[in-house]
Structure 1
């Protein structure tokens, strides 16, 4: 259940089957610039660049957190061998990068038959950076915890699951697997470190878009008394949306939605509706 905050003018988070504006009281802003709180895409073919060109706006990229991977010698103390698991659960692109880097450091050879369960399609597609993408081996949900558990149930075949995670991870997935009596292990393979932010730099943008609760946490740690004013805030995923509202901020845009399964589509629709 979402905690209500009377200091903000945000509505409650809609369900995944709903597709409507979240904040009817959002300020009317002529959007000229958007800050995406993720690393800049590796390819110039990213839909973000098409979006910027279509609407003649500036889109910049700046993560609010830094991931520090655990050293192989320290990980060995946990006595977990990644190669002994035939399924891996990913909840972020960062966990993908850290997992395969650690495997290289450990010289752990991951079987090509390993199955990968991903929170979103974007994470699943990102796996192509490290593996040969095979539809029968890579599965993805809709960005929700329920969506992830549904694909686990649908494709389960006596897997042993490994959950690469950070030192600030939530235990939802582990609790679910434990309740189902599935064989699994959580592996803390990286630390989430908030980056130092400058409010003046944030204020240059008309909209800031978050993709994970830890990004919202980093933002609030930098600016505990932040006054949102005319700054629009977007979120990808219900957990991120919830984190924004609990932090006392106004949520102006949320994805995924039926008409906008990706954040770029959600922003495109939002900008088109304002033009």
Structure 2
């Protein structure tokens, strides 16, 4: 069993590390964290988007699954000089995403609906508004779980790729100097494989968060030692904590 001392997190460092769950692990298990975003998110230009021949004014509702989608949608609408109808309906996967809309619209004057952070929670909302023609702003990484669910339930929607993920340049990083690598999206796995084409996992541990990240890791023939969320560990830090405690008990 590899002793975990150095951990690489494929995300930016929290704004206040000392008040984050990572600090609890540092104090509790004497581990070290390094934070490095493995990819960046870039919005499509209006010229790039026009190539899709999608007319955003044809839709009466929007499905938002992230803050990125909101930011890039409204930026694109501005670039295209599109005026968004006051009758537009917004379907968000969580209340946090719904409240983020206040950055761009008068929250109380619009028709906004949100789920409980799961894709399935959107279905009852969408079925109540089955006559709406919906657009799903997304990135260029397929979210087959969401697309399949919407299609299987006959939701009238169209994907609109409005932003994309670009792999970061990790040249100079000694990827094998870490005992544990933590990934939060399929894009992180893609960046690992592109930056380190000769990478072999060996005894190095890998943690993933989310079903699609786990699937991407397995598709890349990586061994996932710490999957999250689980019933006992709903967050990445809790899953790491649980793994380290279990490893100590085996000694």
Category of TM-score, reference length = shorter chain: 0.7 to 0.9
Partner of 2:140: 167
Which residue in the other structure is 2:55 paired with? 80
Q: CA deviation at 1:259?
A: 0.7
1:155 and 2:120 matched: no
SS at match of 2:241: helix
Superposed CA offset, 1:132-185 (max 9, x none): 899x8321345xxxxx2x212233321543222222324553344344332212
Shift of 1:95: 3.6
Match runs of 1:234-245 below 5 Å: 234-245=207-218
* TM-score normalised by length of structure 2: 0.76
Query: In the alignment, what sits opposite 1:138?
Result: 114
Contact 1:96 1:127 in 2 (8 A): no
Residue 268 (1) aligns with residue 241 (2) = yes
- Partner of residue 21, structure 1: none
Contact 1:162/1:186 (8 A) holds in 2:
yes
Tell me the CA shift for residue 208 of structure 1.
Answer: 0.8
After superposition, what is the alpha-carbon deviation per residue over 1:11-63, rounded to whole angstroms, capped at 9, x for unaligned?
Answer: xxxxxxxxxxxxxxxxx222222211123334554333343333332222212
Q: CA deviation at 1:242?
A: 1.8
Measured after TM superposition, the shift of residue 105 of structure 1 is 4.3
Question: For 1:131, what is the secondary structure of its paired residue?
Answer: helix
1:47 maps to: 21
Higher RCO by CA contacts (8 Å cutoff, separation 6 or greater): 1
1-structure distance, mates of 2:167, 2:150? 29
Q: What's the CA shift for 1:200? A: 4.2
Matched with 1:9 is none
**For 1:1-275, what aligned pairs fall within 5 Å after superposition?**
28-44=1-17, 45-76=19-50, 78-81=53-56, 84-90=59-65, 94-103=68-77, 105-106=79-80, 108-109=83-84, 114-118=89-93, 125=96, 128-131=99-102, 137-142=113-118, 148=119, 150-156=120-126, 157-158=128-129, 159-198=132-171, 200-275=173-248
**How many residues in Structure 1 have an aligned counterpart in Structure 2?**
236
Unaligned regions of 5+ residues in structure 1, if any?
Answer: 1-27, 143-147
